[in-house]
Amino acid sequence: MTQRTLVILKPDAVRRGLIGEVLGRIERKAGWTIPAMELRTLDQETLEQHYGEHKGKPFYEPLMGFMASGPVVVLVVEGERVIEGVRQLAGPTDPIAAAPGSIRGDFGTIVRENLIHASDSEESAERELKIFFPGRV
Protein backbone atom coordinates (compact mmCIF):
# COMPACT_ATOMS: atom_id res chain seq x y z
CA MET A 1 0.00 0.00 0.00
CA THR A 2 1.48 3.35 -1.05
CA GLN A 3 1.68 5.90 1.76
CA ARG A 4 3.09 9.34 2.45
CA THR A 5 4.93 10.30 5.62
CA LEU A 6 6.58 13.36 7.09
CA VAL A 7 10.28 13.21 7.87
CA ILE A 8 12.20 15.97 9.66
CA LEU A 9 15.98 16.02 9.75
CA LYS A 10 16.42 17.81 13.05
CA PRO A 11 18.88 20.63 13.84
CA ASP A 12 21.56 18.20 15.06
CA ALA A 13 21.48 16.28 11.75
CA VAL A 14 21.79 19.54 9.80
CA ARG A 15 24.58 20.90 12.05
CA ARG A 16 26.54 17.66 11.77
CA GLY A 17 26.34 17.55 7.97
CA LEU A 18 24.23 14.39 7.83
CA ILE A 19 21.57 15.59 5.35
CA GLY A 20 23.11 13.79 2.36
CA GLU A 21 23.70 10.59 4.31
CA VAL A 22 20.12 10.39 5.57
CA LEU A 23 18.57 11.41 2.24
CA GLY A 24 20.75 8.83 0.48
CA ARG A 25 19.47 6.07 2.74
CA ILE A 26 15.89 7.09 1.98
CA GLU A 27 16.51 7.42 -1.76
CA ARG A 28 18.21 4.03 -1.98
CA LYS A 29 15.12 2.29 -0.63
CA ALA A 30 13.49 0.78 -3.72
CA GLY A 31 10.21 2.43 -4.59
CA TRP A 32 10.46 5.37 -2.19
CA THR A 33 10.42 8.91 -3.55
CA ILE A 34 10.75 12.41 -2.09
CA PRO A 35 8.04 14.54 -3.75
CA ALA A 36 8.64 17.59 -1.52
CA MET A 37 11.55 18.87 0.56
CA GLU A 38 12.52 22.19 2.16
CA LEU A 39 15.24 23.58 4.39
CA ARG A 40 13.66 25.89 6.97
CA THR A 41 13.86 27.22 10.50
CA LEU A 42 10.71 26.30 12.40
CA ASP A 43 8.72 29.07 14.08
CA GLN A 44 7.02 28.78 17.46
CA GLU A 45 3.53 28.38 15.97
CA THR A 46 4.56 25.44 13.78
CA LEU A 47 6.40 23.78 16.66
CA GLU A 48 3.37 24.19 18.93
CA GLN A 49 1.10 22.62 16.33
CA HIS A 50 3.46 19.72 15.81
CA TYR A 51 4.38 19.01 19.44
CA GLY A 52 1.21 20.31 21.16
CA GLU A 53 0.24 16.87 22.46
CA HIS A 54 3.37 16.91 24.64
CA LYS A 55 2.73 20.29 26.28
CA GLY A 56 3.18 20.03 30.05
CA LYS A 57 5.51 17.03 29.86
CA PRO A 58 9.03 17.51 31.29
CA PHE A 59 10.73 17.20 27.89
CA TYR A 60 8.43 19.69 26.09
CA GLU A 61 10.32 22.95 26.70
CA PRO A 62 13.79 21.50 26.00
CA LEU A 63 12.42 19.87 22.84
CA MET A 64 10.89 23.14 21.65
CA GLY A 65 14.19 24.97 22.27
CA PHE A 66 16.19 22.29 20.48
CA MET A 67 13.88 22.22 17.44
CA ALA A 68 14.08 26.03 17.15
CA SER A 69 17.89 26.05 17.55
CA GLY A 70 18.70 25.85 13.85
CA PRO A 71 17.48 24.89 10.41
CA VAL A 72 15.79 21.57 9.72
CA VAL A 73 14.99 19.71 6.52
CA VAL A 74 11.33 18.74 6.18
CA LEU A 75 10.36 16.25 3.54
CA VAL A 76 7.55 14.10 2.27
CA VAL A 77 8.51 10.52 1.58
CA GLU A 78 6.19 8.36 -0.48
CA GLY A 79 6.17 4.64 -1.11
CA GLU A 80 5.08 1.18 -0.14
CA ARG A 81 4.75 0.83 3.67
CA VAL A 82 6.87 3.97 4.01
CA ILE A 83 5.58 4.94 7.47
CA GLU A 84 6.73 1.70 9.05
CA GLY A 85 9.83 1.61 6.88
CA VAL A 86 11.16 5.06 7.69
CA ARG A 87 10.64 4.47 11.40
CA GLN A 88 12.62 1.24 11.10
CA LEU A 89 15.33 3.08 9.16
CA ALA A 90 15.46 5.78 11.86
CA GLY A 91 15.72 3.29 14.75
CA PRO A 92 14.62 3.77 18.36
CA THR A 93 15.00 7.20 19.98
CA ASP A 94 17.74 5.94 22.32
CA PRO A 95 20.89 5.64 20.18
CA ILE A 96 22.27 2.91 22.47
CA ALA A 97 19.16 0.78 21.81
CA ALA A 98 19.20 1.55 18.07
CA ALA A 99 20.65 -1.17 15.88
CA PRO A 100 23.75 -0.56 13.75
CA GLY A 101 22.59 0.30 10.25
CA SER A 102 19.79 2.53 11.51
CA ILE A 103 20.25 6.30 11.39
CA ARG A 104 20.21 6.69 15.16
CA GLY A 105 22.27 3.54 15.67
CA ASP A 106 24.99 4.82 13.35
CA PHE A 107 24.93 8.56 14.17
CA GLY A 108 22.88 9.16 17.34
CA THR A 109 24.56 10.50 20.46
CA ILE A 110 21.87 11.43 23.00
CA VAL A 111 18.14 10.71 23.36
CA ARG A 112 16.92 14.32 23.28
CA GLU A 113 18.80 15.24 20.10
CA ASN A 114 17.93 12.25 17.98
CA LEU A 115 18.54 13.40 14.38
CA ILE A 116 15.23 12.50 12.72
CA HIS A 117 11.48 12.58 13.14
CA ALA A 118 9.20 10.22 11.21
CA SER A 119 5.42 10.04 11.51
CA ASP A 120 4.34 7.05 13.61
CA SER A 121 1.00 6.24 11.95
CA GLU A 122 -1.16 7.08 8.95
CA GLU A 123 -3.21 9.44 11.14
CA SER A 124 -0.10 11.23 12.42
CA ALA A 125 1.34 11.44 8.91
CA GLU A 126 -1.84 13.04 7.58
CA ARG A 127 -1.97 15.58 10.45
CA GLU A 128 1.76 16.39 10.26
CA LEU A 129 1.87 16.74 6.48
CA LYS A 130 -0.93 19.32 6.70
CA ILE A 131 1.15 21.33 9.20
CA PHE A 132 4.37 21.34 7.19
CA PHE A 133 3.08 21.19 3.61
CA PRO A 134 -0.41 22.74 3.69
CA GLY A 135 -2.19 22.56 0.35
CA ARG A 136 0.62 20.55 -1.25
CA VAL A 137 -0.10 17.00 -0.15
Annotated binding-site residues for ATP read 10, 59, 87, 93, 104, 114
Which residue among 117, 128, 129, 133 is the active-site one?
A: 117
Distance CA 44, CA 51 (A): 10
For residues 4, 111, 19, 43, the Cα torsion angle rounded to the nearest 10 degrees is: 70
Residue 117 a catalytic site member: yes
Catalytic site residues? 117
